[in-house]
Amino acid sequence: MARVGHSARVGRSRRRWMNVFFSPIVALALVTRVHGAPSAMGLRKRPFKNTAARGRALGSTAREVYGEVLETGVLVASFELAGAQTFELIVDTGSSRTYLPCKGCASCGAHEAGRYYDYDASADFSRVECSACGGIGGSCKSGVCRYYVHYLEGSGSEGYLVRDVVSLGGSVGNATVVFGCEERELGSIKQQSADGLFGFGRQAYALRAQLASASVIDDLFSMCVEGYEKLSGEHVGGLLTLGNFDFGADAPALVYTPMVSSPMYYQVTTTSWTLGNSVVEGSRGVLTIIDSGTSYTYVPGNMHERFLQLAEDAARESGLEKVAPPEDYPDLCFGNSGGLGWSTVSEYFPALKIDYQGSARLTLSPETYLYWHQKNASAFCVGILEHDDNRILLGQITMRNTFTEFDVARSRVGMASANCEILREKYVEHASESPRLPPPPPPLSPSQSPLPPPSPPGSSDDKDSGVFVYLAMPVVGIIGVMGGSALMKKRDSNQWRRLEEDIGEHLDGEIELVDVP
């Protein structure tokens, strides 16, 4: 899920991983094929080389991420494969499939890496067998284990599932994982700058789940998203950890709330929001999806109306005036003649307190609900938006300078206010590095890359072991944009649920499903 931010501010030039927008459509019926329960079948653990001694604690690593709400709308991390071939993938806690374009893709776009993955450089590369396909959310077609990820607005990713060694750094080192090799990109996925998707969702084939099932890491990961974008163009992004990373004395003092059962999403229960001294009406007892792939935060209509009123009251009491929003968006923006800036915003706007089930309370600064006006350096706009769902979709903006631990093994989420920039600078730059994989071959353009060998026709594995489920329901502006790949203009208040066929045996009425060819 991702809702992109706005165009780059004047005087600042940074990479844009996503730059295509779409208009929402209404789908009245969806069809899906349901496969067997997902598992870690086919995953191999690769012996580490000089990274972690046998018999010691499970591995962990701290990775750098790039991106911010306004300019890229997503967070991106490097994914290094054989030959030091590095790809920039969108980190999305709302999607589970990891995929990127591979050599031979005749219908993939030109992305950040400027090349497709050349698997011939890897002695460890192999395609997933059809015998293991159903256990990792795939579909066997003509003897090839395939995956399909389609989205309502028409974009999608299709390809085959493979195993290969990825370099993850730290004491995790090099590990063998299953991911998707794209043969076809559709719509905005083909046009985006990001190379692919780094799936951190709850399903069993998500990368962190594979590593945990192979006893490479504990089944938890964490994110720490840095605060306001800075006009100087310096690094903005944050920190991603895999496993139980040791921050020593710098470890944030986490408060925990239980996860609510869901096959795809990290859901918790919000007991209330308080802006300043006023409880936001409509915020009590609301299910909340935490999704790093969504740029802004979306709340139910009645909650949104009350939040805007409280924000406006606070702004006026501080002497701020309404200003026109950027690019004709209908957002609520406030400013003054020059005293308001990212370093002084807390003097004008109140803190946001979020209470979660289990007596977990976070006190957050205004940067978790305001974004900086691109055309007026002394103005800010409210980044809490409305959608037609009865849940909160907690996006990247409200994760700013909040250390968030997804402890899947214990089915809980830990949170604490933190200075994410300091944590990144201290622990990413000094994290031990894994051994490098072999040097890369010369880069190949998509037109030069040979197509993969054709699949053998008439395979007995063409049979469908799944069943078809028909959902006759209008899908009208509910949750999320598609896995960080299909984007919406900021002025669109309706977001659309992600469509993935990768749901295992669980049929959750909250999740709409994909049409599988």
Q: Is residue 130 part of a domain?
A: yes
Number of domains in the chain: 2
pLDDT of residue 235: 55
Kindly state the tokens that stand for 341.
């800036």
Mean pLDDT per block of 10 residues along the chain (517 residues) reads 33 32 29 30 31 58 85 85 94 93 94 93 96 91 94 87 94 94 94 92 94 94 84 69 94 97 93 98 97 92 97 96 86 90 91 97 96 88 95 94 96 96 82 39 33 33 29 28 33 32 30 32
Residues acting as catalytic residues: 92, 291
Cβ burial 24-53 (10 Å sphere, 16+ → b, else e):
beebeebebbbbeebbbbbbeebebeebbe
Q: Are residues 264 and 128 in the same domain?
A: no
Q: Are residues 262 and 397 in the same domain?
A: yes
pLDDT of residue 207: 94
Q: Is residue 73 part of a domain?
A: yes
Q: Is residue 491 part of a domain?
A: no
Residues 6+ positions from 82 with CB-CB distance below 8 Å: 119, 121, 122, 123, 124, 125, 164, 165, 437, 438, 440
Global pTM? 0.76
Q: Is residue 351 part of a domain?
A: yes
Kindly state the tokens that stand for 477.
């502006």
Q: Is residue 286 part of a domain?
A: yes
Residue pointed to by tokens 């009491």: 317
Q: Is residue 39 part of a domain?
A: no
Q: Is residue 484 part of a domain?
A: no
Q: Are residues 268 and 178 in the same domain?
A: no
**Where is 273: in which H helix or E strand?**
strand 267-275
pLDDT of residue 343: 85
Do residues 225 and 420 touch, judged by C-beta distance below 8 A? yes
Q: Are residues 156 and 231 in the same domain?
A: yes
Q: Are residues 256 and 376 in the same domain?
A: yes
Q: What is the DSSP letter of 107?
A: B
Q: Are residues 217 and 174 in the same domain?
A: yes
The CATH number of the domain holding residue 153 is 2.40.70.10
Q: Which of 215, 237, 259 is the last residue of a domain?
A: 237
Q: Is residue 25 part of a domain?
A: no
- What residue numbers bound the domain in which 324 lies? 246-418
Q: Are residues 334 and 409 in the same domain?
A: yes
Q: Are residues 253 and 353 in the same domain?
A: yes
Q: Are residues 133 and 276 in the same domain?
A: no
pLDDT of residue 294: 87
Q: Are residues 257 and 137 in the same domain?
A: no
pLDDT of residue 341: 86
Cβ-in-10-Å burial (0-12, 13-18, 19+) of 255 comes to middle
Sign of the Cα torsion 294, 295, 301, 307 reads: positive
Q: Which of 368, 403, 418 is the last residue of a domain?
A: 418
Q: Are residues 229 and 283 in the same domain?
A: no
Q: Are residues 165 and 66 in the same domain?
A: yes
Q: Which of 418, 437, 470 is the last residue of a domain?
A: 418
pLDDT of residue 376: 87
